[in-house]
Amino acid sequence: MANFKVTMQLDDLSCPSCMIKIQKALTGQPGLSKLNVLFNASKIKLVLDDTANNIENIQNILNHLGYPVQKVTVKE
Amino acid sequence: MSTLLGFALLFHFIHLSKLSQILILLVVLIGILPIFLRAISALQYKSISIELLISIAVLGALMIHEYDEAGIVVWLFTLGDWLQVIMLRKTRQSIRDLIKTVPTTALKVNTSDDRHYEEVAIDELVPNQYILVKAGSTIPVDGVVVQGTSYVNEASITGESKPTHKIVLSDVFAGTFVNDGTIVVKVNKTGDETVFGKLIELIEDAQDSQTKEQQFIDQFAQYYTPMILILGIVVALWTKNIETAITVLVLGCPGALVIGVPVSTVMGIGIAAKNGIITKGAASFNILTQRNYFIFDKTGTLTIGEPTVVKIENLMGEQDNNLKLLASIENESNHPLARAILKINKTNDFYPIQDIQTIPGQGITAHIDHQSILVGNPKMMQAKHIKIPASTTNIADSKVILTVNQRVHMILTINDQLRPNIQQNLERIKQQGAKKLILLSGDNQEAVDAIAKTLPLDQASGNLLPADKLTIVKQLQRQGESVVFVGDGINDGPALSQADLGIAMGGGTDIAIEVSDLVLVKSNLAQIPRAIKLAHATMHNMQQNIFIALATVLILFIGLFTNFVDMSMGMLVHELSVLLVVFNALRLNYFK
């Protein structure tokens, strides 16, 4: 299965507890094999095994948590 | 919200309490809603957040009719949150400034001769397309010049502020600045793929790397918030006093504690980047503040790595003509010494050459205008039985001898010069607490000794293979020493990655960036004492922030149990402590 490296630029993450929240919320999501929340860069980096569906799913969760995604870049 | 609260307080003072209470309730409602929603969403993912503590505290305050307290707490929390975002944005600014130097649009042309451009976003460009870059603008991509010439300032990548002359087929890099001339560039890489993009990505990732202190605090914070919630419940049950219980929740917010360390490191890393020191992790700061063994490679690290002609001895014939003869032959060679010789030749006018032949390890033979020419080292002259006059220059220097029809015409002395101010820089590193300074080189011992004589080194060894350097690093580590290895990244790779801290001379090479923990983008050794100083400053700042955070919580709790602190006062002190740690981190901005 192909792996995609996805970077999502979020609105400013303002408190490090956001990191824990995001980590807990995204861990175990389908297709997600690696997750790195970069608090200071206000970004998350993920490795996904599928793109369209999974990206949308993760964007929805982040929106729901109150961290809208500003920009998504996908690399194979 | 602030206006509403202001009016509420005003009405309170002029005894319109009903109106005042309605306004306060309005403030609470407007303010608590987003906080409450965030608390619920975190709870859904089994995370007990600061927002939950605040929500419970405010609801509790409303229940016991402490409307003013509830209003002030909500307002302070919202205000604090907003200020925090603004100040964090400031700490993140240094990286954003760097990114901004690369333009987001490019002038696309259809062919290399085309001058009719179309402005497109960088994201739309693909490799092998052509773009036009005008004088006075920044190159937006990595690529190759296919048309025109120019002088490009590459300081953003190499730190070399002297403009580089770019002609057709020269490589150019994103983020570098075209001083003059218009060029057409064939696109190779865009965005994150460019050398500059990779540097930025490294800095961004580094900003989120963690020191031991940070890891500890993160773990601590995970248990701390639920602990405060439990403490609140215990206090409520024990004292039967809801007000004290909810005050505990407000006072216990771990704001300054969780934010104190990351703001210090993010500032430290950002300032390092501004100074051309790219660190891959905050842990580098920790290592730099210890008493380390500093090991240096020679060529390219202590020396510039670019041979330069330091002495011309013209023994026969006209000097200009001799130089022209030399240059005509060296023009055919790729040898590093040839580059040094071509640099001193002023013209591009060369003689036609016949029968050119290279003798590996010795030199070149050729014929020019029916004369037999030899260009080579003393070994070659010995082999050809040509006697060369004794020279006064150092044994460690390289010599290139030009003979015409078996007679010595010219002797050039070429050496790889030491980097500027190297002596002062090494001395400073020592003053800053380095245990020993060691030179390890692949060059012969004579060359190493010649350099060691002039520098404040504790030990200097030559004739070493990359594997030998690795062994020495490992040996020192086995003796319990902390080792910093400074190299130029390619053949020093094993030692750089084995050392406790690998420092690479940048120069924009991918390998240098990949294997080490710290990259001196400007290949300037003065950056090492600077990095050590900054590391000390950052670590101090971090410790101050931990102290501020812990002291705040302690003082608040003492205040609570001695009845000096109520809920809104607690919130105020708490928010002030958060702002104080961010302010303290921003102080690093004035690092000189």
* Tens digit of each residue's pLDDT (9 = 90 or more) over B286-322: 899 999 999 998 877 888 877 788 888 898 888 888 8
- Here the CATH number for the domain that contains residue A41 is 3.30.70.100
Nearest CB neighbour to B45, from listed A25, A41, A73: A25
Residue B285 and residue B538 in contact, taking contact as beta carbons nearer than 8 Å: yes
Q: Are B436 and B459 in contact (CB under 8 A)?
A: yes
In chain B, residues with a C-beta closer than 8 Å to the C-beta of A42 are 92
Per-residue confidence (pLDDT) for residue A15, from 0 to 100: 64
pLDDT tens column, B224-240: 888 888 988 998 899 88
Q: What is the mean pLDDT of chain B?
A: 83
Residue B489: strand, helix, or coil: coil
Question: B405, B390, B214: which is closest to B313 by C-alpha?
Answer: B390
Encoded tokens for B364:
């070149």
| Helix spans in B143-211 (H) | 155-158, 195-207
Residue positions counted in chain B: 592
- The single residue of B142, B297, B443, B500 carrying the catalytic annotation is B297
**Cross-strand pairs, B109:** B130
Task: Please check whether residue B278 is in contact with residue B521, taking contact to mean a CB–CB distance below 8 angstroms.
Answer: yes
The DSSP symbol for B419 reads P
Domain that holds residue A45: 3-75
- Cβ proximity of B416 and B304 under 8 Å: yes
A17: nearest CB among B44, B50, B95: B50
Confidence of residue B183 (pLDDT cuts 50, 70, 90): very high
Report residue B509: phi and psi, to 5°. -80, 140
Would you state the structure tokens that stand for residue A16, as one six-digit string? 């490090």
Cβ burial of B169 (10 Å; 0-12, 13-18, 19+) is exposed
- Residue B440: strand, helix, or coil: strand
Structure tokens at B471: 């062994």
Over residues A5-49, the pLDDT tens digits come to 888 888 777 666 677 778 888 888 888 888 888 877 788 888 888
3-state secondary structure of B592: coil
A66–B contact, CB cutoff 8 A: yes
Q: Does the interface ipTM go beyond 0.85?
A: no
Comparing B507 with B431, the larger pLDDT belongs to B431
Which pLDDT does position B489 carry in this prediction? Answer: 62
Question: What pLDDT, on the 0 to 100 scale, is given for residue B99?
Answer: 67
Q: Are B207 and A14 an interchain contact pair (Cβ–Cβ within 8 Å)?
A: no
**Could A24 and B192 be called an inter-chain contact, meaning their C-beta atoms sit closer than 8 Å?**
no
Give the pair of three-digit tokens for residue B178.
């075209």
B50 CA: distance to closest CA in chain A (Å): 8
Taking the CA atoms of residue B17, residue B21, residue B23 and residue B26 in that order, the dihedral angle to the nearest 10 degrees is -170
What is the rounded distance in angstroms from the CA atom of residue B342 to the CA atom of residue B133?
A: 30
Residue in B closest to A24 by C-alpha: B45
Angle formed at CA A20 by CA A16 and CA A24, multiple of 5 degrees: 160
pLDDT of residue B155: 67
Instruction: Supply B522's token pair.
Output: 């400007």
Nearest-CB residue to B266 (from A20, A40, A73): A40
| Measured distance CA(B522)–CA(B158) in Å, rounded | 5
The span from the CA of B152 to the CA of B167, in Å, is: 10
Quickly tell me which residue has 């293979």 as its tokens. Answer: B465
Question: 């200020």: which residue's tokens?
Answer: B83
Nearest Cα to Cα of residue B538 among B216, B211, B292: B211
Cross-chain residue pair A21–B205, CB shorter than 8 Å: no
Please give the sequence-ordered ranges of beta strands (E in DSSP) within B419-489, or none if there are none.
Answer: 436-440, 459-461, 483-487
pLDDT value for B288: 94
**Four-CA torsion B331, B332, B334, B340, nearest 10 degrees:** -20
B35 vs chain A: nearest CA distance in angstroms?
Answer: 11
Backbone φ and ψ for B530, nearest 5 degrees, come out as: -65, -45
Closest CA to B77 of B230, B215, B255, B232: B255
Residues of A in contact with B197 (CB under 8 A): none
Q: What is the pLDDT of residue B262?
A: 78
Q: What is the pLDDT of residues B320-362, one digit of tens each?
A: 888 888 888 888 776 767 777 877 776 677 888 888 888 877 8
Mean pLDDT of B63-83: 81
CA distance A16 to B540: 21
Closest CB to A39 among B84, B192, B262: B262
Instruction: Report pLDDT digits (tens) over B110-144.
Output: 988 888 899 998 888 889 999 999 988 899 999 99
CA distance B559 to chain A (A): 26
Q: How many structural domains does chain A have?
A: 1
Report residue A45 as tokens: 């980096």
- Nearest residue of A to residue B84, measured between CA atoms: A14
* Cα–Cα dist B47/A21, whole Å: 6
- Judge if pTM exceeds 0.80: no
Q: How far apart are CA B98 and CA B586, in angstroms?
A: 18
Strands A43-48 and B105-109: unpaired
B213 touching chain A per CB within 8 A? no
pLDDT band at B426 (very low <50, low <70, confident <90, very high): very high
Q: Which residues in chain B have Cβ-Cβ distances shorter than 8 Å to A14? A: 81, 84-85, 88
Residue A41 and residue B98: Cα distance in Å, rounded?
A: 13
Sort out which chain A residues have CB atoms less than 8 A from B42's CB and list them.
17, 21, 65
Q: Which residues contact B567 (CB under 8 A, 6 or more apart)?
A: B57, B61, B66, B69, B73, B243, B246, B247, B250
Mutate which of B204, B219, B223 to test chain A, going by most A C-beta atoms within 10 A? Answer: B204
Q: What is the pLDDT of residue B277?
A: 86
Asked if the C-beta of A24 comes within 8 angstroms of chain B's C-beta atoms, the answer is yes
Distance from chain centroid for Cα B434 = 22
Q: What is the pLDDT of residue A28?
A: 84
Q: Report how far residue B173's alpha carbon sits from residue B154's, in angstroms, rounded to the nearest whole number.
A: 8
Q: Is B218 a catalytic residue?
A: no
Residue B145 · residue B168 · CB < 8 Å: yes
Please state the rounded mean pLDDT for residues B52-75: 84
| Residues 254-293, chain B, touching A (beta carbon < 8 A) | 254-255, 258-259, 262, 266
A9 touches chain B (CB under 8 A): no
Nearest to B73 by CA among B223, B301, B247, B325: B247
What residues of chain B lie within 8 A of the CB of A64, using their CB? Answer: 41
Give the span between the Cα atoms of B9 and B353, in whole angstroms.
95
Residue B508 pLDDT exceeds 60: no
Distances (CA, A) of B90 to A8, A16, A50, B95, B254: 21, 16, 36, 10, 22
A28 touches chain B (CB under 8 A): no
Alpha-carbon distance B573 to B212, whole Å? 28
How confident is the model over B25-41, as a mean pLDDT?
86
Q: Do A41 and B204 touch (CB under 8 A)?
A: yes
DSSP track, B330-342: HTT---HHHHHHH
Which residues, including other chains, have CB under 8 Å from residue B97's CB and lie 6 or more apart? none
Two structure tokens written together for A31: 């297709």
pLDDT given for residue A20 in this prediction: 74
Q: Which residues contact B202 (CB under 8 A, 6 or more apart)?
A: B278, B280, B513, B519
Please determine, for residue B7, whether its predicted confidence score (pLDDT) is greater than 60.
Answer: yes
Return the amino acid letter for B308: T
3-class SS at A71?
A: strand
User: What pLDDT, on a 0 to 100 scale, did the predictor assign at position B567?
Assistant: 80
Return d(Cα B123, Cα B134) in angstroms, integer.
20
In angstroms, the separation between the Cα of residue B66 and the nearest Cα of chain A is 28
Q: What is the largest distance, in Å, between two alpha-carbon atoms of chain B?
A: 113
A71 touches chain B (CB under 8 A): no
Contact B330, B356 (CB under 8 A): no
User: B219: nearest CA in chain A?
Assistant: A20
A to B CB pairs, distance under 8 Å: 77
Least confident of B70-84, B89-103, B241-255, B287-301: B89-103
B265 close to B542: Cβ distance less than 8 angstroms: yes
Closest CA in chain A for residue B83: A14
| Closest among B376, B365, B373 to B407, alpha carbons compared | B373
